[in-house]
Amino acid sequence: MMIKSLIPAAALVFSASLLSASQAACPPGLTQEDIVPPTDKSRTFIRLGAGEFGSARGSKTHTGVDILTRASYPDREAYAVYALGAGTVAYAKFNGVTLDDGFGNTIVVDHGNDCYSMYAHLASDPFTPMNDESSALLMSKGQTVAKGELIGYFVDQTVGVHSTGNAMRTAAGARWQTHFELWHAPSGRSGATLKAIYGEEANRTDPTSTLLSLGYKIEDIAQ
C-alpha cells in the first residue's frame, strides 16, 4: 500500500477559469479549533492519484478530493460525513439525471466567511431524484449546522445503500466515497444549481493541506 503524507513541492498550474493559484486560503481566518475532519479519519483516506485535487479527468481536472474507505464496517459511523465547520446549508439536493450520474446527493455548507464546503456522493434512501430531490438527505437548504454535525453518510450498510452519482461508475475500490471540495466565493449565495453558488469564477481551493492538517493520509486504493 502506498501512503503519501506530504504535499509535493511543485504544484501544477491549472486554467484560471477553473482553479486559481492566487485565491485566498479557505477556510480563511479559521483556527484548527474551528474545524473538524469531515469523516472518520482513522477509517478513511484521500485516494492517491485520480482522487487528488487537480488530477486529470479526461479533458477536465478533478476539482476536489475523494475520501474513501477500503473496508466494510458494520457500523454506520465509519461512513458518516460531518460538517467541516459551522455554517448554513446553501445546497441540498441530487446533482445529476440518473442514479449513477453527476455528484449524486450533494450538500454544500456556507461557512459565512466567503468559504463553502461541498460533500458529494452521499447515500440515498430512498432514491427519489425526480420528485423530491432532498427527501433522501438529512439536511435541507437554509438549515444551520454546527461544526462536526452529522450531515449524511457516503454508504449506509444498514439499509444497503451505496454512494450516489458517478462514484458508482469509478474503479471498484473507489465506489464508496465522498467527494469533498472547498470553494472561495462570496457568502450568502444559494440556489438550485452549484454554479449559482460558486459563480462564473469557479474558485475551487485545494483542500489537501487542510485535510492533512486534520490527520488524513493520501493512500493508493491498491494494496
Predicted confidence at residue 107, as pLDDT, reads 94
The lowest-confidence range among 103-112, 199-208, 213-222 is 199-208
Pairing relation of β-strands 144-145 and 150-153? unpaired
Q: Where are the domains of the chain?
A: 28-215
Rounded CA gap, 59 and 149, in Å?
A: 36
In which region does residue 186 sit, left (phi positive, over 0), alpha (psi from -120 to 50) or beta (all else)?
beta
Confidence of residue 26 (pLDDT cuts 50, 70, 90): low
Query: Rounded CA gap, 139 and 81, in Å?
Result: 12
Mean pLDDT, residues 34-44: 95
For 173, the 3-state DSSP assignment is helix
DSSP 89-113: EEEEEEESSSTTSTTEEEEEEE-SS
pTM greater than 0.95: no
Confidence band for 60, pLDDT divided at 50, 70 and 90: confident
Class of 28-215 per CATH?
Answer: mainly beta
Between the two ends of the chain, the Cα-to-Cα distance in Å is 4
Does position 45 have pLDDT exceeding 90, yes or no? yes
Q: What pLDDT, on the 0 to 100 scale, is given for residue 5?
A: 39
Give me the mean pLDDT over the 177-187 stretch.
91
Q: How far apart are CA 12 and CA 55, in angstroms?
A: 9
